[in-house]
Structure 1
Amino acid sequence: MNQQLKILVVYYSQSGQLKQIIDTIVAPFQHKASIVYKLIEPVEPFPFPWKKQQFFDAMPECVLARPRAVKYIGVSADEHFDLVILGYTPWFLSPSQPVAGFLQSEEGKSILKGKRVLTVSGCRNMWLNAQEAIKRYLSAAGATLVGNIALVDKNHNLVSLFTIQRWAFKGKKDGHFILPPAGVQEEDIKACDRFAAPIVAALENNKMDTLQAELVQLGAAEVLPSLVVLENRGTKPFKFFAKFISDKGGPAAPSRQGRVSLYRNLLPIAVIILSPISALSALITLITKKKQLNEEVAYYKGIELRKA
């Protein structure tokens, strides 16, 4: 391909970490491509750092896929792009509200129709359910998912639980006493430039069908069996509490704040209790249902959408 590549980056990032990840991925081929960045902006912005009650009050609409409206990003549906990079962060095992808002919007669906999409996420450690939702949105829009890069905080689940709360609620990302810095570790972000070569090769050769396999070989979507078990167990309680809270009113409604507080206090306790139990359960499952769990791991590393 002699023509300059044209790439659209559509993303939402509160802290700036996701933008840093995307910048690092595309940096090696910026000289070969025209890259257009578009930030998704909610009509009513979300705060960062968050107040705890505000953060947990955002959960029901995330899980129930009732996001706040987003502003137009101003891209013509007829404009050609060789690739769309969709950058998102999971919230409550679901796509963040702004990204869900974009994907549900008529503008978002018209932009993505007929386009090839590479998803890029940065999160604490759980992205499987959110990515499944993204797959469904893309399929409904008539887009083709060609690759997925999911970067996570590789620290222990309980360690990252504490560091992410410090960052989200106090704005403090740095290490603290024995705690490491919050979020995806800096060395992992710097190393994600390794994904550039297979992406640009696939685009230049117009051969996208092996891209995800090449990205996975480079560690683009690492899936821990214990987190498959933990996340699969977590989706039902999230849906229960989402409905339980929303039954008492809409976002920020005073009538639902008691239930939001109940959920806010129960969630960290549940994670602390379930984390070691799920690790043990995954170990048992690996022994008793090894083939089934390995198939689940392989599925989540891929880009195919499971039939309902």
Structure 2
Amino acid sequence: MKKRILVLYYSQSGQLRDILDNILYDIQHKVEIDVVQVEMENPFPFPWTSATFFDAMPECVELIPSAIKPLPHEVMNNHHDLVLFGWQPWFLSPSQPTTSFLKSQYAAILKDKPVITVIGSRNMWLNGQEQVKVMLKEVGAKLVGNIVLTDTNSNLISVLTIARWAFTGQKAASSILPEAGVQTPDIKNAQRFGMQIYKHLENNRLEVLQKELLMQGAIHLDPGLVILEKRGIKNFRKFAKYIREKGGPLDPNRKSRVKIFQYLLTVIIFILSPISSFTAMIQMHLQKKSLLRDVEYFKNLAYQEDML
């Protein structure tokens, strides 16, 4: 009897579905596959408006769920031998649809199941994965692997292309800027992970899968990003609390505070980011050993409190 894999994900643009499809491309005829996209009762817009985009930050950072549509009855009743859980970070945190699923009654489908997380990200995913680890543990899932695909363009270029994509819907390259998001060759190259996953699933050796995935380049992590994300998430947490003091999502009373956050984030990205990167480089040299330990931790699956 063929093994059955559940693919669960949320994606506005379809990029994460492309990544998951490529991971499974070489093994799609060797296993049974159920594919389910998490859907919100009140969907987020795509392309975004700036007002709705920046207003989504506080609930993402504070892991506040919203209602999702029920998962298909037949999928909930199927037995699954493995789950591929695709998610993406918003504001250095799990996207709200990700949190909403993991905190819903439907997350019971993950109980006692081995789970591989698959992340499609601009470049910073560490805090989000830490939060996902906790939520997976809370529903009784067992994390057995993590695959991360990121935008390999420079930080400034990737900010510009992601903004173009988020606010206009244009992923394709323009005369000035390259393609947005994870590069197409990297998405296609995710096919290399499929057979490794299949072999470990068939041989009941999923507990050692992550080591093999890392040998295949499942995660590339710049130590400097560890420093920058630690700084960034602290500021996001402060602003999330500050904004939510004035109400919930799209509350007119918090509009001015969302605007302040939008302005300051723009200043940080385009003006202070080069300075912050320079100081991070200095810190990287001064704390090389501890940072390398952090990198090894984030590449693996264990959870330790207060790493960010």
> How far apart are the structure 2 equivalents of 1:289 and 1:197?
38
Query: Residues 79-130 of structure 1: CA distance to partner in whole angstroms, max 9, x if unpaired?
Result: 321101111111011111111001001221x111100000011111111110
Report the CA distance shift for 1:150/1:274 in structure 2 as closer, same or farther (over 3 A): farther
Aligned to 1:306: 304
Q: Does 1:190 align with 2:188?
A: yes
Structure 2 partner of 1:209: 207
Paired letter, 1:37: V
> Which letter does structure 2 place at the counterpart of 1:156?
S
1:210-265 deviations in Å (ceiling 9; x for gaps):
21111111111111111111101001110111111111111011111111111111
Match in the other structure for 1:96: 95
Equivalence for 1:178: 176
Equivalent residue runs for 1:1-308 within 5 Å? 3-75=1-73, 79-108=78-107, 110-307=108-305
Is the Cα contact below 8 Å between 2:124 and 2:225 reproduced in 1?
yes
Give the superposition deviation at 1:286: 3.2
Q: For 2:214 and 2:270, how far apart are their aligned partners in 1?
A: 30
- SS, match of residue 239 in structure 1: helix
Structure 2: how far apart are the matches of 1:111 and 1:98?
Answer: 16
> Is 2:83–2:113's contact at 8 Å kept on the other side of the alignment?
yes
The answer on whether the counterparts of 1:246 and 1:256 sit within 8 Å (CA) in structure 2 is yes
Alignment root-mean-square deviation, CA? 1.3
Gaps of 5+ in 1: none
Could you report, residue by residue, the CA deviation over 1:268-307 in whole angstroms, capped at 9, with x for unpaired residues? 2112344333433343233222110000011111111114
What is the CA–CA distance in structure 2 between the aligned matches of 1:289 and 1:227, rounded to whole Å?
14
Verify the 8 A CA contact 2:126 2:298 in the aligned structure 1. Answer: yes
Q: Secondary structure of 2:118's partner? A: strand
Whole-Å separation in 1 of the counterparts to 2:37 and 2:11: 8
SS, match of residue 4 in structure 2: strand
Change (3 A) 1:211 1:275: farther
Aligned pairs, number: 305
Deviation, 1:77, is 5.5
Question: What percent identity do the matched residue pairs reach?
Answer: 50
Task: Describe the superposition over 1:126-153 as per-residue Cα deviations: whole angstroms up to 9, x where unpaired.
Answer: 1111000100001111110000011000
Give how far 1:178 is off: 2.8
Q: How far 1:177 moved relative to its partner?
A: 2.4
* Inter-CA distance 170–77: structure 2 relative to 1 (3 Å threshold): closer
CA–CA distance in 2 between the matches of 1:307 and 1:163? 34
Residue type matched to 1:275 in 2? S
Distance 1:282 1:213, change over 3 A: farther
Q: Aligned letter for 1:202? A: H
Does the 8 Å CA contact 2:224/2:284 hold for their aligned counterparts?
no
Deviations 1:31-57 (A, max 9, x none): 110000111001101100000110000
Deviation at 1:78, TM superposition (A): 5.7
The CA deviation string for residues 173-192 of structure 1, in whole angstroms up to 9 with x for no partner, is 11122311100000100111
Cα offset for 1:66?
A: 0.9
CA distance in 2, matches of 1:285, 1:30: 45
Aligned-partner Cα distance in 2 for 1:165–1:307: 32
